[in-house]
Structure 1
Amino acid sequence: MKKISILLLLFSFNLLAQSPWVKEKGKSYLQLSYTSIANYDKLFAKTEKELPNKVSDNTIQFYGEYGLTDKTTLLVNLPFKMTTLNTAISGSVNNNSLGNIQIGVKHNFSNNKWLLTGQLNIEANTSSYKANSGLRTGYDAWSFTPLFIAGRGFDRWYIQAFTGFDIRTNKYSSNYKLGGEVGYKTLDWLWIAGFLDGVASLNNGDIALPSENLATGLYVNNQGYAGFGLKFIGEINNNFGANIALGGAFTGNNVAKAPAISFGVYHKF
């Protein structure tokens, strides 16, 4: 049996933003979350890659949505990254700074039982890189992500799926994205959702990254994975709640093999 490990890339903003539901005009949704992946020293690859040092990648993330009209929603994601390289010789080295800031818009084209929604995200090249440690807080590129999303809600459960691409500049490869999610309201205050999520590199970029960066596995080229996981959403009241996300990977390429967990609190206005 293949070893199963939890994958940071499955959590946080991606799972929120890839939803076909839009906000009503003037309504908003705000979430603050924390995701941690600590002390990994192996990467998924065709042959498992061992790193020379242990790396930690923690993220505090602010995500927001605002209903511009009843069919169009604006969104923003502000990640603050806290990355650490733990070496036996020089101890811990840190790079704490912004990741790739993302803005986006999604528009609902049809709401006849099934919701059909289009979305476009733009990810700015706002990350930083420390050459001496190889710690990178985001891709050294701009990214453009068009998505098609479909979903439907029922009395106590919902289903949704998405497909699209990450198109990156600066000689990074682009990615194909595909995923789906099913959620069920087990209690009046608790939703449990299971998801499948996959990213496949198109291998069309030839950026030459420093060896120090390759030795951390942070935002390197041709990353991909096929994963699964669970989300738990607790509704404290109609406007306030909290969530936890856990995920696992069947396989991957150039991404960390290490346990991770994401916690978040949200408020609707």
Structure 2
Amino acid sequence: MQFHNIQSLILKVFGLGYMCFFTFEAAAQSGWTKEKTEGFYQLSFQSMKSDDYYSLTGDLLETNQFSQQSLVFYGEYGVTDKFTIIANWPLQIWNGFETTETVSGLGDLRLEFKHSLLKKYLPLSISIAPEFPIGRANNFAQSTVNDFEQINLPSGDGEFNVWTTLASSFALPDIPLYGNLFSSYNFRTQYEGISFSDQFAIGAEIGYHIADLVWVNARLNALNSVNEVEVATDFVRGDGSEYTAYSFGASVPVYKNIHVTVNYRNFNDWIFKRKNIYSSGVIGFGVYYEYKPKKP
């Protein structure tokens, strides 16, 4: 299929929802907040390639292979024992099809303000996370087949939106095992006069410390649209995107409070069926540093 036919098909039928692949999964939601001046800072790289696109109706379509890589900064800082500020910022996102050049740009910045409702026995928190559209909302990739054709592959969705999350956690006293549960609501606005459907998400995580050395975890997340989106209103803005995702990860200390991480994520139809996304495995690697103040 020639590039202009693929481009026309995408523009008329698709509304690719890949924008949420990396930023929403950068770190798990939990009921815990950081202690005062305590910090967690992570830099991670993630990559995916897929030619399996699930349309707005959930039909699987084989397209030109799409690829995305992302370099993401994630940080938490304890302002007080009950109030934590979180930053989730893709520093660079690379997008491209196999018949286009690869284009890149800064992603949208999410700042999360997290407050502890219960801290001691059953940690419970609520957070508000505005996402600022500072990424490239228009970023055109030139066709490598026809010089006069191009396609928009933005690194930001161009709209201001706000995530609200309620999360709870537990940790067993005598076993190095923890768990998290959360639910989130994403209030979306519009881009260039086009309004987007709100979204809600649910998720769970369980983790275990092996031999007092390696942390391993498993997660299950699901995202759904509040309103039924029958026609793609815009390109690559995630409107109408739905999925269930699972992931497995591990982290190992390498020097003092510095750890390296590896993570694998993929998608299925267990809770919400895949719609408006490219579906394939996402491989991630990272390094993080934890700062814990010395106790008097």
TM > 0.5 fold call: yes
TM-score between the two structures when normalised by the length of structure 2? 0.78
Say whether residues 1:152 and 2:170 are aligned partners.
yes
TM-score between the two structures when normalised by the length of structure 1? 0.86
Out of 66, 70, 95, the residue aligned to residue 59 of structure 1 is 70
1:26-61 CA-to-partner distances (Å, cap 9, x unmatched) read: 1211100000012x222124210232x222111001
Equivalent-residue separation in structure 2 for 1:118 and 1:195 (angstroms): 20
Specify the code of the residue in structure 1 equivalent to 2:61: K
Equivalent-residue separation in structure 2 for 1:157 and 1:238 (angstroms): 22
Larger Rg: 2
How many Å apart are 1:185 and its aligned residue? 1.0
Match of 1:4 in 2: none
Equivalent-residue separation in structure 1 for 2:243 and 2:131 (angstroms): 20
Equivalent-residue separation in structure 2 for 1:9 and 1:124 (angstroms): 14
Match of 2:36 in 1: 25
Equivalent-residue separation in structure 2 for 1:13 and 1:64 (angstroms): 14
Equivalent-residue separation in structure 2 for 1:134 and 1:116 (angstroms): 41
Name the SS for the 1:103 alignment partner. strand
Match of 2:196 in 1: 172
The alignment's C-alpha RMSD in Å is 2.1
Equivalent pair of 2:139/2:155 in contact (CA under 8 Å): no
Match of 1:130 in 2: 139
Match of 2:59 in 1: 47
How many Å apart are 1:231 and its aligned residue? 1.4
Equivalent-residue separation in structure 2 for 1:268 and 1:56 (angstroms): 32
Q: Which has the higher strand share?
A: 1
Equivalent pair of 2:238/2:276 in contact (CA under 8 Å): yes
Match of 1:3 in 2: none
Equivalent-residue separation in structure 2 for 1:243 and 1:50 (angstroms): 32
Shift in CA distance, 11/124, structure 1 to aligned 2, threshold 3 Å: closer
**Long gaps (5+) in structure 2:** 1-17, 141-149, 292-296
Shift in CA distance, 241/32, structure 1 to aligned 2, threshold 3 Å: same
**Long gaps (5+) in structure 1:** 1-6
Indicate the larger mover: 198-207 or 183-192: 198-207
Name the SS for the 1:93 alignment partner. coil
Match of 1:267 in 2: 289
Equivalent pair of 1:100/1:124 in contact (CA under 8 Å): yes
Name the SS for the 1:253 alignment partner. coil
1:139-192 CA-to-partner distances (Å, cap 9, x unmatched) read: 221110000000011231001100021111101111110000111112211111
Equivalent-residue separation in structure 2 for 1:208 and 1:44 (angstroms): 16
Match of 1:71 in 2: 82
